[in-house]
Amino acid sequence: MAEQRIPRIFIAEDDEGILDLLVTRLRIAGYHTTQEKDGLAALEAIRRNPPNACILDVNMPRMDGFQVLKRLRADPLTAHVPVLILTARRAPDDIKTAIRLGATDYLSKPFNDEQLLARVARLLRKRPPPPDPSKVVML
């Protein structure tokens, strides 16, 4: 029987209470979590060992979540990693920025457990590969 891998979720969150809540909820749901409390440390950790998915806060010390996301998308080793932006910022411009920079999803704080777990599950769904431009038939 094939060994099932436990999905690894990386969390970048500087608020200790929210970080503890995220880690607890995700571990209870069966995920393995790793975490950092500032953006630069998060970027370095993700590059060292790319996870199955990331949850990024926007407002963090040393580097904000938008900059982390931008750098993840620019790096071939991490460009494929699905990212959920989890933040108290709800302005339409923030959501547009997250999507433009390559976020897979966006969730505003406060959130409930069901929302969080549904969004994380969606991050982990297999996506079809992008179409091969050489095989696209123009009609």
Q: What are phi and psi of 124, to 5 degrees?
A: -90, -10
Fold of 8-123: Rossmann fold (3.40.50)
The string of pLDDT tens digits covering residues 80-128 is 999 999 988 888 899 999 999 999 999 999 999 999 999 999 999 865 4
The string of pLDDT tens digits covering residues 66-86 is 999 999 999 999 999 999 999
Q: Domain residues of the chain, as ranges?
A: 8-123
Instruction: Say if residues 47 and 78 touch (Cβ distance below 8 Å).
Output: yes
